[in-house]
Copies of this chain bind each other. A is one copy, B any other.
Amino acid sequence: MDKETMRHWLTKQAELAPEQLAVEADGHVSLTFLELQTESEAYAKKLVHIGVKKGTRVAMLATNNVDFVRTVFALSYVGAVVVLLNVRLTNEELTYQLEQSKSELVITTEQLREEKQLDIKKQLTFQELRSLPEANVTVRTEISLAEPFTMMFTSGTTGKPKAVVHTYGNHWWSAIASVLNLGLTDHDKWLLPLPLFHVGGLSILFRSVIYGMPFYLVERYEKCHVFDVIHEKEITIASFVTLMLRDFLEQLGDAPFPEHVRTILLGGGSVPETLLDEVRCKEVPLFLSYGMTETSSQIVTLHKKDIFHKLGSAGKPLFPAQLKIANDDEDGVGEIYVKGPMVIERYANDVSANEKSFHDGWLKTGDLGYVDEDGFLFVVDRRSDLIISGGENIYPTEVENALMSIDGVSEAAVVGRNDEKWGQVPVAFIVLEVGTSLSEEKIKAQLADKLASYKLPRAFYFIDSLPRNAANKVMRHKLKERLVP
């Protein structure tokens, strides 16, 4: 018997709880599991009509909307692989990912098709999708945990985006790990204000169909709106980035924290100091999570009860994940390795990245950290000096590569600067070629096509040489010290 085979999650949930609320979204949209299933199956048949089949890679280029949700499930009903594109990427970046993923079709919105002008023949807006006829086929009712389901890109240490393919199993186990950690009640409703094209947002879709739990899809983040939704829709769990927590607490003012919200799940690993006091005195039920695309969302989580008791910790590895510190120094600091069924087995078509990142069943995160005597993980240094800005990951190497491709730039180093609003923003240190003069404006203009706007450095510092260590490696921490705090 194939233990990896199970009934399609949405089909199963539509059978178990057809009348149960599945999705709510802006504009008074509300769908039950049966409705979501029926509509997703209809979309699947429309996609089959235009030639999508098992294994076809189909890219999604869209901001959050309910059609996005329907389409993800529609593609899974066909067995196609969903390639998730970050809408903030430039045309050049998107083209690279479309090529690497071998996407045969892009499903997008009117607005993004206009805006991006992608050089790919097969593009389809949601509106066009809806108006297609349905093929006369029956969609599948079973999936296998071993099958690929979604694909997204992560830049990592080399600066070259690596393709992460999540199997159904990765998403399944991530949802199971989360329920064993956070529990589940009949009243649960999860707020989804994060982009569906990141794994942190996408994973909520799968929790919903696996748990039989509704979620509220925020189409466009706006602080007053989210505040109202949380109250009016009686949200019990919200996935937030720091900015959103700050906004929520600001909106709340002197009012007590709403009782019906039992969990705020905050990505990024540590509670921002500027919010500490408020979290404490309002008894915000804050869970901090540590994870990456490769781990299919959170893999280490700090429980609300330990937030102040273990300040600065990322928490403990979720059941059934495992964690170890490799090659640790005398202080116990070493590279963080994780493993578990929610962790991908390898990158797609990237032998050198795989050799670098996977060892004996463990994912080498590239982050440095230690585990204290009570088993709590502390992350002391992010992989490749990762900059997290408003929930988006920025890899310095990628920005540095773009800078160095500009005529006249000899060397470049990018580091994160603390920022009240975004958490961090990238700033660049540049060494020009001798005899060259290049203005900040000219550099910016040349970067604009290459890098999504959130990756663009907010400041440029022209210096004579980069500080390097004996191994000739740039010492980014020395550069950080030069930044005015």
Contacts and interface: CB of A to CB of B under 8 A. Distances in A.
A210 B345 CA distance: 24
A322 B2 contact: no
Which residue, of A169, A179, A319, A340, has the highest number of chain B Cβ atoms within 10 A? A319
Given A179-B180, A184-B183, A345-B1, A210 B15 contact: no
Given A1-B339, A319-B13, A361-B2, A210 B180 contact: yes
A15 B211 CA distance: 26
A417 B6 CA distance: 39
A350 to B, nearest CB: 17
A16 B340 CA distance: 16
Interface string A180-191: 100111100000
- Interface range for A: 20 to 34
A23 B319 CA distance: 19
A3 interface: yes
A307 interface: no
A72 interface: no
Contacts of A184: 179-180, 183-184
* Most chain B beta-carbon neighbours within 10 Å: one of A183, A211, A343, A361: A183
A183 B180 contact: no
A57 interface: no
Interface in A1-60: 1-3, 5-7, 9, 12-13, 15-16
Contacts of A320: 6-7, 12
B322 A6 contact: yes
Contact of A186 (B16, B183, B340): B183
Nearest to A172: B320
Interface in A357-395: 358, 361, 375
Nearest to A211: B180
A341 B1 CA distance: 9
A70 interface: no
Contacts of A340: 6
A169 B319 contact: no
A171 interface: no
A211 B320 CA distance: 11
A361 B6 CA distance: 11
Given A2-B361, A179-B184, A316 B7 contact: no
B3 A341 contact: yes
Nearest to A318: B16
Nearest to A143: B320
A176 interface: yes
A5 B345 CA distance: 14
Contacts of A319: 9, 12-13, 16, 210, 212
Nearest to A6: B320
Interface string A135-155: 000000000000000000000
Interface in A203-244: 210-212
Nearest to A182: B184
Nearest to A14: B375
A3 B179 contact: no
A343 B3 CA distance: 9
Contacts of A185: 183, 185
17 contacts: A1-B339, A1-B361, A2-B361, A5-B361, A6-B320, A6-B341, A7-B320, A7-B322, A15-B316, A176-B176, A179-B179, A179-B180, A180-B210, A180-B211, A183-B184, A183-B186, A212-B319
Interface of A: 1-3, 5-7, 9, 12-13, 15-16, 169, 176, 179-180, 183-186, 210-212, 316, 319-320, 322, 339-341, 343, 345, 358, 361, 375
Given A1-B345, A12-B319, A185-B185, 6 more contacts: A1-B361, A6-B322, A6-B341, A176-B176, A180-B184, A183-B185
